[in-house]
Amino acid sequence: MGVIAVANQKGGVGKTTTVINFGAALAALDRKVAIVDLDPQANATSGLGLSRREAPPNSYSVLLGGSVVGAFRPTGFPNLSLLPSTRDLVGAEIELIGVQDRERQLRSALEGLRREAEFILVDCPPALSLLTINALTAADSLLVPVQTEYFALEGVSELMDTVERVRHSFNPALFIEGIILTLYDERTNLARQVGEDIRRHLGSLVYDAVIPRNIRLAEAPSFGKPVLSHDIKSSGAQAYIDLAREFLRRRAK
């Protein structure tokens, strides 16, 4: 149970791909999952077949205190729903400046939505912003996708510093759920070396399941579907199923 923020201040690490496909894999394992698209780019919204111009309720209206009734929309994938994003979210940070407890707006909104799903996954923007702070303040835990490339550990270190600041100021119970190695190409020495370095530094926080570079994963958003609907036999789909199973095993312990 719980709200899980999926974040990395570095872009291009497979964050939204992970939100969509990890969420779909949990849903395929009979968990009720909801995704909150808190990224103004709205890639999770379009990647699940919804329009970036969805009328309220959407993440923008909910963040600014609007009604949460009917907030989660069906995606067409069983057990998986979505609170869509909209380009209006770009202006939310400016509009929230004068709002009391502006860092806790999402937390307040999600309190009324927690019972609608076993897991709520929040797709954060690839930057340290007020939107990301809202997500980390609302979350019970944090899931971090990390691309196996140089400077990966540097990005994780910066994110850990952010987590400490959020714990200190807004959410002392926030914990790191785990680290996911993404866009992994086992054919390259670089990917293997970086993967080993990350495991050496972060130990058991790193999941055994690894997400490969996979053409089916890259294609699926253009069809508005998770990869499990697009090609369930692909290595990308199987990797996210493995990740979801490992996540649930760890949770059970």
Burial 238-247 (b: 16+ CB within 10 A, else e): bbbbbbbeeb
Q: Which residues lie closer than 8 Å to 165 by C-beta, 6 or more apart? A: none
CATH code linked to domain 2-252: 3.40.50.300
* Tens-place pLDDT, residues 182-191: 999 888 888 8
Rounded to two decimals, the pTM is 0.95
Q: What pLDDT sits at residue 1?
A: 77
Count other Cβ atoms within 10 Å, centred on residue 161. Answer: 12
- Produce one character per residue of 141-151: b if its CB has 16 or more CB atoms within 10 Å, e if not: bbbbbbbbbee
Cα separation, 71 vs 82, in Å, equals 8
Counts of helices then strands in the chain (DSSP H, E): 11, 8
Give the Cα separation of 131 and 141 in Å (integer). 16
Q: In tens digits, what is the pLDDT along the chain, a chain of 253 residues?
A: 799 999 988 778 889 999 999 999 999 999 999 999 999 999 999 999 998 888 889 999 999 998 888 999 999 999 999 999 998 898 888 899 888 899 999 999 999 889 999 999 999 998 888 999 999 999 999 999 998 887 777 788 888 898 999 999 999 999 999 999 999 988 888 889 889 988 998 999 999 999 999 999 999 999 999 999 999 999 999 999 999 999 999 999 8
The 8-class DSSP code of residue 84 comes to: -
Query: First vs last Cα of the chain: how many Å apart?
Result: 14
pLDDT digits (tens, 9 = 90+) for 81-136: 999 999 889 888 889 988 889 999 999 999 988 999 999 999 999 888 899 999 99
pLDDT of residue 72: 95
The full set of domain ranges for the chain reads 2-252
pLDDT at 126: 85
Whether the Cβ atoms of residue 137 and residue 149 lie closer than 8 Å to each other: no
What does residue 122 show for φ and ψ, rounded to 5 degrees?
-105, 120
